[in-house]
Amino acid sequence: MQVSTSRKSKVLLLPQEIRDQLHALLRSGTMHQKDILEAVNQMIDEAGLPEDAKLSRTGFNRFAKKFEQVGERIRQSREVAEVWTAKLGQAPTSDVGKLLQEFVRTMAFETSMKMMDAADQEDAEPISPKALGQLALVVQRIEAAAMSSIKVEKEIRSAFAAEAATKVEQIVKQAGISAETAIDIKNQILGIA
């Protein structure tokens, strides 16, 4: 009989309602881990689950540590998002899009550098065609998104210029300036002149 080395965590095997309560207790931070472990094992008893469904101290501590690490990553990402949202909140959407595109470009570059470094090691296998294909696809999508952003930005600017030119034409006519001068001003706004 072969024993599997990748067993599911006992926590993941618990019924959803017990897991939800466990997560809530861990997030609250109001109880010690020892007390949470006792509470969860009591819930397991009350649910009529077998004795081997109970969590061990080491297994629970491992899960709690992983849970806290994930929570910390989420907190950090929220803090970064808040900082950038505050900084870019007034910026046009295209600027945020450009920032995200540059972020993904940087990640793709760093990934390719790590792949090349790994391939340079003695006895290293060459970079797989699949990995290269995936990296190329990421780069292609980044560039397509950049081109799309530029196109949308040009359309927005063009629409704004057309609207501004129409308003200026109306104002100029109301001010009694000749139709020829009004058209000239409108064309200059639209970049035709």
Q: Please, what is the Cα angle at 135 between 133 and 138, to 5 degrees?
A: 110
pLDDT in the model for residue 193: 45
28-69 per-position pLDDT tens digit: 888 898 999 999 999 999 999 999 899 999 989 988 888 888
* Buried b / exposed e along 165-177 (16+ C-beta atoms within 10 A): beeebeebeeeee
pLDDT in the model for residue 184: 77
Pair of tokens at residue 17: 């309602």
**Sequential DSSP letters for 127-177:** PPHHHHHHHHHHHHHHHHHHHHHHHHHHHHHHHHHHHHHHHHHHHHHHTT-
pLDDT in the model for residue 37: 92
104-162 per-position pLDDT tens digit: 777 777 777 777 777 666 666 777 788 778 878 887 887 887 788 778 878 888 888 78
Cα(14)–Cα(55) distance, integer angstroms: 10
- pTM assigned to the model: 0.42
Task: Determine what percent of the chain is predicted with pLDDT higher than 90.
Answer: 13
Question: Has residue 8 got a pLDDT over 60?
Answer: yes
pLDDT in the model for residue 4: 44
pLDDT in the model for residue 3: 43
Cα(150)–Cα(143) distance, integer angstroms: 11
Cα(32)–Cα(27) distance, integer angstroms: 12
Cα(179)–Cα(176) distance, integer angstroms: 9
